[in-house]
Amino acid sequence: MNSERSTIIRKKDLSLWERMYIPEIVKGMKLTIRQMFAPTFTTQYPDERFQPPASFRGRPVLVEENGVERCVACGLCSRVCPALAIEVQAGETELGKERYPEKFEINMIRCIFCGFCEEVCPEEAIIMSQEYELAFTKPQDALFGKDKLVVPIEKVQTRLNFLRANR
Amino acid sequence: MNIIEPLVKIALILLINLTTVAYLVYTERRVSAFIQNRVGPNRVGPMGLLQPVADIVKLFFKEDIVPTAANKFVHSLAPLISLIVALSTFAVIPFGNTIHLFGRDIKLMIADVNVGLLYLLALSSLGVYGITLSGWSSNNKYSLLGGLRSSAQMISYELSMGLSIIGVLMIAGSLQLDKIVVHQGNYLGGFLPAWNIFLQPLGFITFVVAYFAETNRLPFDLPEAEPELVGGYHTEYSGMKFGLFFLAEYANMITASAVITTLYLGGWQFPFIENFGFSPLAVSLLQVAAFGVKVALVLLFFIIVRWTIPRFRYDQLMNLGWKVMLPLAVLNIIITGFFILV
């Protein structure tokens, strides 16, 4: 038993009182009975919803400012994405930013919520939101196009503040 | 006329027993949830009170799968044996004193057998057949191991159980459960009810431990130890056949609580009730209520113990059974005999 690689952890043998077992059971039962009256941890999900903290990485969204998305379609997010979930096609625009994403698609089945796209984005255009209810019934539903991704800036302000505070 | 009375009693007891089983499962789930700081079933009906109904309906509609290699007859027979044995033990348990209703004296037990204690021991050990046969007939190694463990466990603990009952028998001087309860109606020194738990605490402990092993409840639930044996003896059971095993386990628990109450906690005795001056009918009803409360408390004890103590290892179980419980039970007999002589 006590070879070179193993060590005895138990410091002392159990006392007679402990070996009688019954008193120890009573001790354990006191603990469980006390726990019965302790508050529960459960969140009653559909009735109560978990409000995630600002550091939470929910589904990635595109920030919309003054009616236009910030994204300039540089494609860095698509490059960095370890799960190859993002597809960007750039197009020209008359606006000051000159480029805009003609197509921006995130495959939410592939997305692993790592937040690399958010970190790499030079324009703070793609950020992780606090939404976590992402269930689909069809795989096609999991392809989030611009219609679902673009979100007004007011809705993601907490995350933006968090990002700036912890840059 | 004579046959109607027992039939009514049987129907009543079956009804109460099966409802209690259903709500015992609910209670166990709720209590275990509270112990683990969870909520437990609270969706079906107010506070989840209709959960047992939903469970039973679900079990009825599940597909009943019998393995191809199983012995079909025994496979169907085993859950029936378990349940019938679990329920019929209740036949000899007195749940109240004689009650005067409709101009007749009605004894509140189904069968006043003069060897009630022996009947009880015999039936509780018969329950192992259901488990062993189910393990054997499933033709599955895990089931078989579960069944074998169960029979070994029963044989080991039956001995200490029988020996601890002898203490009660020596005090009461009768095998009739009713007489044992009546005997517990006296008082020790005028203030302590002469329940057998106070007269022989050692016998009480050995009996309760042995009965835990007998009902396959948690510290001794090796026949269905899920981390080792998948599901144990009921691995190959599904649908209502599994439901019958489930029912039998909880019915056994109720019977066990009733037996512990009858033998050690004074049965239907309500201490000092004669001092309050109630009418005879009220006294009888209060005694039935006292029995119910005692059984409920023992059931709660069963549940809390299950969620407190981890499972024994097999060798520890055998060591405890043969090297500790058996000598203690014998010691209890010797002590009781000594006190009776002195």
% of chain A with per-residue pLDDT over 70: 96
> What are the structure tokens assigned to B134, written together?
């189910």
Query: Which residues 6+ apart lie within 8 Å of B206 measured at CB?
Result: B160, B161, B163, B164, B325, B328, B329, B332
Please report which confidence band the pLDDT of residue A3 belongs to, taking 50, 70 and 90 as the band edges. low
Substitution target in A24, A26, A32, A35 with the highest count of B β-carbons within 10 Å is: A32
Q: Which chain A residues in 8-47 lie under 8 Å from chain B, judged by CB atoms?
A: 22, 25, 28-29, 31-33, 35-42, 44
Q: How many domains would you assign to chain A?
A: 1
Work out whether strand A126-128 and strand A86-92 pair parallel, antiparallel, or are unpaired.
Answer: unpaired
Cβ neighbours around B325 below 10 Å, total: 24
Q: Does B205 touch chain A (CB under 8 A)?
A: yes
CATH number at residue A132: 3.30.70.3270
Residues 38-77 on B with a CB inside 8 Å of A are 38-39
> How many residue pairs from chains A and B have C-beta atoms closer than 8 A?
36
Alpha-carbon span A86 to A107, nearest angstrom:
7
A67 Cα to chain B: minimum distance (Å)? 44
DSSP per residue, B212-255: HHHTT-GGG-GGG-HHHHTTGGGTT--HHHHHHHHHHHHHHHHH
Q: Is residue A54 part of a domain?
A: no
Q: Which chain B residue shows the shortest CA-CA distance from A39?
A: B37
Within an 8 Å CB–CB cutoff, is residue B310 touching chain A? no
Please give the average per-residue pLDDT across A75-86, as a whole number: 92
The DSSP secondary structure of B276-314, one letter per residue, reads S---HHHHHHHHHHHHHHHHHHHHHHHHHHHTTSPPPPH
The distance in angstroms from the start CA to the end CA of chain B is 49
Whether A116 is covered by a domain: the verdict is yes
Contact B309 A33 (CB under 8 A): no
CA separation for the pair B200, B196 (Å, rounded): 6
Query: Å from B333 to nearest chain A CA?
Result: 20
Cβ neighbours of residue A53 under 8 Å, at least 6 residues apart?
none
Q: Which of B306, B255, B283 is nearest to B32 (CA)?
A: B306
Residue B308 lies in domain: 4-341
**Chain A residue closest to B41 (CA)?**
A44
- Tell me the three state secondary structure of residue B5: helix
Subunit contact A40:B37, Cβ cutoff 8 A: yes
- For residue A29, give the nearest of B36, B37, B304 by CB distance: B304
- Residue range(s) defining the domain that contains residue A140: 60-166
- Decide if B35 and A32 are in contact by the 8 Å CB cutoff: yes
In B, which residues are within 8 Å of A16 by CB distance?
A: none
Taking Cα atoms as reference points, which of B134, B139, B316, B146 lies closest to residue B229?
B146
Model confidence at A80: pLDDT above 90: yes
Q: Which residues of B touch A41 (CB under 8 A)?
A: 37-38
Task: Look at A16 and A108; give whichever has higher pLDDT.
Answer: A108
Per-residue pLDDT tens digits of chain B, which is 342 residues long: 578 878 888 888 888 888 888 888 888 888 888 888 888 888 887 888 888 888 888 888 888 888 888 888 888 888 888 888 888 888 888 887 777 777 777 777 777 778 888 888 888 888 888 888 888 888 888 888 888 888 888 888 888 888 888 888 888 888 888 888 887 877 777 677 778 777 888 888 888 888 888 888 778 877 777 777 777 788 888 888 888 888 888 888 888 888 888 888 887 877 777 777 777 778 888 888 888 888 899 998 888 888 888 888 888 888 888 888 888 888 888 888 888 887
Indicate the residue of A25, A35, A44 with minimum beta-carbon distance to B309: A25
Q: Do A35 and B37 touch (CB under 8 A)?
A: yes
Q: Say yes or no for a CB contact (<8 Å) between A41 and B37.
A: yes
DSSP, residue by residue, chain A: ---SS------SPPPHHHHT-HHHHHHHHHHHHHHHTSPP----TTTS-----TT---SEEEEEETTEE------HHHHH-TT--EEEEEEE-SSTT-EEEEEEEEETTT-----HHHHH-TTS-EEE-S------SSGGGGEE-HHHHEEEGGGGHHHHHHHHHT-
Per-residue pLDDT, A112: 92
pLDDT tier for residue A88 given thresholds of 50, 70 and 90: very high
In a domain, A110, yes or no: yes
